[in-house]
A and B are shown apart, each in its own frame.
Chain A
Amino acid sequence: KAGVTQTPRYLIKTRGQQVTLSCSPISGHRSVSWYQQTPGQGLQFLFEYFSETQRNKGNFPGRFSGRQFSNSRSEMNVSTLELGDSALYLCASSWDRSRTQYFGPGTRLLVL
């Protein structure tokens, strides 16, 4: 089975811009979760989608949003980018709820 794929792998944006990241889960997985990874905070949960519905959301501002499509592919969007949004954004998919999750390679976002 193909693993979780994320596009793009690298992004450079400037403050105030918005960005959309994409994730394709493992075939058959209906749950997609997003995480932000930074050296200071480690991996932090952003949100989880299951069957096109956001089930859970972490403690992030409303500038962070996402959606899931009928084929389970997911996108996350960050509006009005801030310097502190520079991070590795990881997508993880799972068959059931947030137990065993399989991660993609991540999208590295740099905000200048």
Chain B
Amino acid sequence: QKEVEQDPGPLSVPEGAIVSLNCTYSNSAFQYFMWYRQYSRKGPELLMYTYSSGNKEDGRFTAQVDKSSKYISLFIRDSQPSDSATYLCAMSDGGGADGLTFGKGTHLIIQP
């Protein structure tokens, strides 16, 4: 079992829809959770950063962490074609020994 599981997609939704992206993990030591967006042939761009459990909102993006279930989510409201990209979840125990542990990413397509 991989440490971080993420559905690779592709996930195709119409413009304006609410998008839900998810990751599950097995390492209970993870405390720091991030979502990155990566466009084709570009480096990952940090979208959201959350410590421990709870919700965090930034504009159209909401990140949720449920440590009891080892489950994290990213919601995108009013999705736009420009949101089409690969979304990577990443997490860390804070100690840095293994860097960030990434999911393999979900390829999201927003249809105009």
Could you list which residues of chain A lie within 8 angstroms of chain B, going by C-beta atoms? Answer: 4, 6, 33, 35, 42-46, 48, 55-56, 58, 90, 92, 97-106, 108
If over half of B's interface residues share one DSSP class (helix, strand or loop), that class is named, otherwise mixed; here it is loop
Given contacts A42-B104, A43-B88, A103-B36, contact A98 B42 (CB under 8 A): no
Please state if B43 and A99 are interface contacts (CB–CB under 8 Å): no
Q: A42 to chain B: which residues have CB within 8 Å?
A: 88, 102-105
Distance from A40 Cβ to chain B, minimum over Cβ atoms (Å):
9
Judged by a CB distance under 8 angstroms, whether B64 is at the interface is no
How many chain B residues have a CB neighbour from A under 8 Å?
Answer: 25
Given contacts A42-B102, A42-B103, A42-B104, contact A101 B46 (CB under 8 A): yes
Q: A48 to chain B: which residues have CB within 8 Å?
A: 96, 99
In whole angstroms, what is the CA distance A6 to B64 when docked?
A: 32
- 9 cross-chain pairs, A with B, having the tightest CB-CB distances, nearest first: A45-B99, A97-B96, A98-B96, A103-B43, A42-B104, A43-B102, A105-B43, A103-B44, A99-B32
Please state if B100 and A98 are interface contacts (CB–CB under 8 Å): yes
Q: B102 to chain A: which residues have CB within 8 Å?
A: 42-44
In whole angstroms, what is the CA distance A43 to B92 when docked?
A: 14
User: Which residues 56-81 in B have Cβ within 8 Å of A in the complex?
Assistant: none
